[in-house]
Amino acid sequence: MMRLIGTVVGASLMMSPAFLSAQELDLQLTRGSDELREELTAALSVASLLETENATPQSLLAAAQADYARLLAALYDGGRFGPVISIQVDGREAAGISPFEAPQSIGVIRVTVDPGPRFRFGRAEIGPLADGTVVPETFQTGERAGTRPVREAATAGVSGWRDVGHAKARLADQVIQADHPNRELDVTLELAPGPRLRFGEIVVTGNDRVRRTRIREIAGIPQGAVFTPEEITQAERRLRQTGVFSSVAISEEDTPNADGTLDLNLQVAEQKPRRFGFGAELSSQEGGKLSAFWLHRNLFQGAERLRVDAEIAGIGATDNGLDYSLSLNYGRPATFTPDTEFFLTASIERLDEPGFISDQASVAAGLAHRFSDELEGRFSLGFRYIDTEDAFGEREFTLLTASVGAIYDTRDNDLNPTEGFYISATGTPFLGLDGSESGIRFTSDARAYRGIGEADRFVLAGRAQLGTIWGPSLSETVPDYLFYSGGGGTVRGHEYQSLGFTTASGEFTGGQSFAALSAELRANLRGPFGVVGFYDAGYITDDSGLSGESEWHAGAGVGLRYDTGIGPIRFDVATPVNGDDAGQSVEFYIGIGQAF
C-alpha cells in the first residue's frame, strides 16, 4: 500500500555541495537506522542524476516520478510493507505534475518516507521440491520478511529441479498476503517441474573461421545425456578459455522436442586470429628484460593456438651477460576429452648466469587436464641438449625427460589476490644419454592469502618454495637444474642468484636443494595506491633432501603499489638483513602484479 502525503518529519540529508547551489535533495525518515537511510538514498535515481552535470528539470521530474516505485521496492525488499512515501518538487507532489508542465527550474526535491514496521514471515511454504533442494534459511516462519528471501526461495526451488534434468521448471503460482495487524507476511509458492529432459542438438551460429564440429567438441555438451545447467556453464568456460572467442552464449530452446530432448543455441563471436605484444621488466641487479610474442589463435580452424616468444634478459646487468631465448608453444584444446589439451613446446636459448653459461635446445609434448575449476594437472615427455661451462668445466648433457605436475588454485585474483591458496608441485624424472647421469628433480610452490578489515584493506600473504634433486652428484647435475637464491623471485635485497654453493676449489655453483620463505603485509591507501612491507629468507644445500653443507640469507624491504584495474604496478626496494653486507646495499624491482 502506498499513500502520498505532504508532511515533512525527521532530519534531512543534503547532497554534494557541487550542486547545492542549483538543486538540493532532502531525504527525511520518520524512523529507521542510518543503514536504511543509505539504502534508500542508493535507490533514488534523483540522487545519482544530481551527481551528473547534465541534469535538466525534465529529467529530474521524470526521475522523481519513477522513484516512488524504486523506494517502494527497496522498502519491500527490507520487509516493510506499510510505507508512506512523499516526493515533492519545490513543494508540489511529483506524482501530480504532468510531464508537459515540467518547471523551468528546480530548487529543492524533498523526499519524506515513513517506512512503517518490519514484517516477519507467518507462513513460508514452497513446493513441490526436488530431492536435495536446500531452501534458504531466510525463508522460514518467524524470519524477517522481505521480497528478497521470497525471490531467493523461488530461485532455489527452480534450480533444484533444473539440476536434476527438469530444464523447464518454473514458478507456477504465488500467493502473498500481508497481515498488517500482526505484522506478518504469508507466502505460498507453487513450482511446476515440467518433464525431465535430455540434451538435444547444439546449433552453432556466429562462427566464421572455427569449424562447427570443433566448437561442439570443445564445448563438450553430451548430446542425449540428462540436462544439467552445470554442463552449460562448463561448456561456456571451455570455449572462452581457448582465447578464440570474444563472447560465448548458450541459450535453451523455449519448447522441448517430442522425444524429450531440448535443443541448445550456441552463439559465438570470434576474435581476430592474430595478436602480438611486448613487455619490459627492470631490476637494479638482474638488469632489464625485453620480451615479445606473436600469437595465432586458430591455426587449423580448430581453435589451435600457436605462440612464438622471444626474450632478451640481463640488459645492463653487472655480474652476467645477456640471456637470449626463442620458444614455440602449440596447443590444441579438446584432445581426447573436452577438458584435455595437447601441447607441444620447442625452445633454443643461451643463459649467461652468475654460476654458469649454457647453450641449449629442448622439445616436449604432453597433455594438460583440468579436473575442476581449482585443480589442473600436466604430463609431458621431452628431450634436452645442453652445452655448458660452469665451476666443473665444459660439459655436454643429453637427457630424455618426463614431467608430472599439478596446480591447485583458489585465489580470488591472479595478479592481486586477497583470499585463497595456490599450490603447485612438479616432478621431473630424467634419463641421461651419452654418459649423462639420471635422476629426478622436484619443485613446489605454496602461497596463502588472508584479507583483513573492511574491503580487505590489509592482506597477509605468505609463500614457501622447495626444491631438490636426487640421483646425480653435484658435479654431474645439469647446471640449470641446480638451485640458487637471491633476486625478485626468491630473496629480494640480495643480488640475483647470489646464494649457491662454493666448491672446495673456491668455484661458485648452484646447490642440489633449496627452500625459501616470504611474508608480506599489504595495505591499501586512498585511491589506487598501496604499500607493502616484506621479509624473504632463502636456504641452499649442496646435497639432496636439504641435507649436507648449507647457507642461508635474508632480505627485507618496502614497496609501493598502484592499482591499474588489471593488476598493480609494483615498485619494491629491499636490502640484505644478514651477513657482512646487511644494510649495505639496496636493490629495487619493478613489475606488474604482486611479487607472488
Query: Could you list the pLDDT tens digit for every one of the 596 residues in the chain?
Result: 232 232 333 333 333 333 333 468 888 888 878 888 888 998 999 988 888 777 888 888 999 999 999 999 999 998 999 899 999 998 899 999 888 887 888 888 999 999 999 999 999 999 999 999 999 999 999 999 999 999 999 999 999 999 999 999 999 999 999 999 999 999 999 999 999 999 999 999 999 999 999 999 999 999 999 999 999 999 999 999 999 999 999 999 999 999 999 999 999 999 999 999 988 877 766 678 899 999 999 999 999 999 999 999 888 776 677 899 999 999 999 999 999 999 999 999 999 888 889 999 999 999 999 999 999 999 999 999 999 998 888 999 999 999 999 999 999 999 899 999 999 999 999 999 988 999 999 999 999 999 999 889 999 999 999 999 999 998 899 998 999 999 889 999 998 888 888 887 888 889 999 999 999 999 999 889 999 999 999 999 988 988 877 888 999 999 999 998 888 999 999 999 987 677 788 999 988 889 99
Amino acid, res. 204:
V
pLDDT of residue 436: 92
Residue 95 CB: number of other CB atoms within 10 A? 14
3-state secondary structure of 518: strand
The secondary structure of the chain in percent helix, strand, coil, rounded to multiples of 5, reads 15, 50, 35
Spell out the SS3 assignment of 23-52: CEEEEEECCCCHHHHHHHHHHCHHHHHHCC
Angle (CA) 142 148 154, round 5°: 90
- d(CA 220, CA 117) in angstroms, rounded, equals 52
Chain-centroid distance of CA 325 in Å reads 30
- d(CA 341, CA 366) in angstroms, rounded, equals 8
Strands 529-541 and 274-283, by their bridges, are unpaired
Dihedral sign, CA of 391, 393, 394, 398?
A: negative
User: Do 309 and 292 touch, CB atoms closer than 8 A?
Assistant: yes
C-alpha dist (Å) from residue 383 to 71, 380, 437? 68, 10, 14
Which domains does the chain show, CATH number per domain? 25-114 (no CATH), 120-192 (3.10.20.310), 361-382+397-592 (2.40.160.50)
Question: Which three three-digit cell numbers place residue 84?
Answer: 508512506
For 350, residues 6+ apart whose C-beta sits below 8 A from its C-beta are: 322, 323, 324, 325, 357, 358, 359, 360
User: Do 139 and 121 touch, CB atoms closer than 8 A?
Assistant: yes
Helices marked H in 164-227: 212-219
- d(CA 417, CA 479) in angstroms, rounded, equals 34
User: Do 241 and 271 touch, CB atoms closer than 8 A?
Assistant: no
Q: What's the N-to-C CA distance of the chain in angstroms?
A: 56
pLDDT of residue 580: 67
Where does residue 219 fall: left (phi above 0), alpha (psi -120 to 50 degrees), or beta otherwise?
alpha
- Candidates 438, 439, 442; CA nearest to 427 is 442
Cis peptide before 128 (omega within 30 of 0): yes
Question: Which three three-digit cell numbers place residue 347?
Answer: 625452445
Read off the pTM. Answer: 0.78
Give the neighbor-by-neighbor strand order of the sheet with 245-252. Answer: 198-205, 261-270, 245-252
User: Do 71 and 113 touch, CB atoms closer than 8 A?
Assistant: yes
User: Do 481 and 473 touch, CB atoms closer than 8 A?
Assistant: no
C-alpha dist (Å) from residue 295 to 106, 298, 355, 459, 592? 57, 9, 34, 36, 21
Strand partners, 307: 295, 329
pLDDT of residue 7: 30
Dihedral sign, CA of 503, 507, 510, 515?
A: positive
Chain-centroid distance of CA 281 in Å reads 23
Give the neighbor-by-neighbor strand order of the sheet with 170-179. Answer: 120-127, 184-192, 170-179
